[in-house]
C-alpha cells in the first residue's frame, strides 16, 4: 500500500469502519512508514482532543425545566397538526398530473382551433383572410409557394432578391404560383 492510499483511510481506521483486510493493510503500512505513523498519531490526538472538548462543553448541559412545556406551547401557538403520511404526496402527485393534462389539453386545443380549413391539400388557395398564426402554420407545413408569396409581400415585391440561378433546366420543379398569402402583418 502507498502512503496516499493509507492516509485516505486513516480516519476510517480510527472509527473502525474498514473491513478486516483493509484495516490490516493500513495498519501494516502505518507500522512501516514513519511519516504515515506520525500523521496517524497527530490525527488521533487531535481527534481525541476534539472529542473531549465537545463532550466537555455539551456533555453536562441540560435543558431548562420548562423545555417540554415550551415545546408544547409552541406547537399549540402555531396550531399545526401533523401532516398525514398519505395524503400529502398523493395530493402533490394528483396536482402534477392535473396540471400536465391541462397544459397538454390547452396546447392541443390551440393548434386544432387554429388549423385552416383545407380543400384537398392546397393550403395556398385560402380565400378567407387567415390570421398570422394560420400563416405560420402554412409556413410550418413547408408550403413553398405560400412562403415565397409571403416573402414577396414582405419585401414589397420590389426587392431584387437573390440572383437567378444560371441553369434554368436544373431548377427543381416546385410549381411556383405567385400566390400571396394575406396576413395582418403588413
Task: Write out the residues near another protein by the rule CB under 8 A.
Answer: 8, 10-12, 14-15, 17, 39, 42-43, 45-47, 49-59, 61-64, 67-68, 70-72, 74-76, 78, 80-85, 88
Residues 118-130 as b or e (16 or more Cβ within 10 Å = b): eeeeebbebeeeb
Q: How far apart are CA 182 and CA 133, in angstroms?
A: 12
Q: Shortest Cβ distance from residue 45 to another protein (Å)?
A: 7
What does each C-alpha distance from 88 to 52, 82, 91, 94, 152 come to in angstroms?
A: 44, 11, 5, 10, 58
Q: In terms of CB distance, is 11 or 110 closer to another protein?
A: 11
Q: Which residue is associated with the grid cell 490526538?
A: 45
Alpha-carbon distance 29 to 154, whole Å? 81
**Considering beta carbons, is residue 37 or 137 the nearer one to another protein?**
37
Residue nearer to another protein on the CB measure, 52 or 155: 52
Minimum separation from the CB atom of position 30 to another protein (A):
14
Q: How far is the CB of 96 from another protein (least distance, A)?
A: 18
> What is the smallest separation between the CB atom of 8 and another protein, expressed in angstroms?
7
Amino acid at each position: 500500500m502507498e502512503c496516499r492510499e493509507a492516509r485516505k483511510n486513516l480516519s476510517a481506521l480510527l472509527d473502525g469502519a474498514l473491513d478486516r483486510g483493509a484495516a490490516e493493510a493500513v495498519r501494516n503500512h502505518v507500522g512501516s512508514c514513519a511519516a504515515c505513523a506520525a500523521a496517524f498519531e497527530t490525527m488521533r490526538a487531535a481527534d481525541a482532543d476534539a472529542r473531549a472538548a465537545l463532550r466537555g462543553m455539551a456533555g453536562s448541559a441540560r435543558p431548562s425545566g420548562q423545555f417540554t412545556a415550551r415545546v408544547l406551547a409552541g406547537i399549540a401557538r402555531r396550531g399545526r397538526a401533523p401532516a398525514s403520511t398519505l395524503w400529502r404526496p398523493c395530493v402533490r402527485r394528483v396536482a402534477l398530473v392535473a396540471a400536465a393534462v391541462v397544459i397538454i389539453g390547452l396546447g392541443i386545443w390551440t393548434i386544432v382551433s387554429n388549423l385552416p380549413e383545407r380543400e384537398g391539400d392546397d393550403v395556398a388557395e385560402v380565400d378567407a383572410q387567415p390570421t398570422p398564426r394560420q400563416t405560420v402554420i402554412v409556413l410550418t407545413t413547408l408550403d413553398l409557394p405560400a412562403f415565397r408569396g409571403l416573402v414577396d409581400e414582405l419585401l414589397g415585391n420590389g426587392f431584387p432578391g437573390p440572383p437567378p440561378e444560371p441553369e434554368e433546366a436544373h431548377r427543381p420543379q416546385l410549381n411556383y404560383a405567385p400566390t400571396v398569402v394575406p396576413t395582418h402583418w403588413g
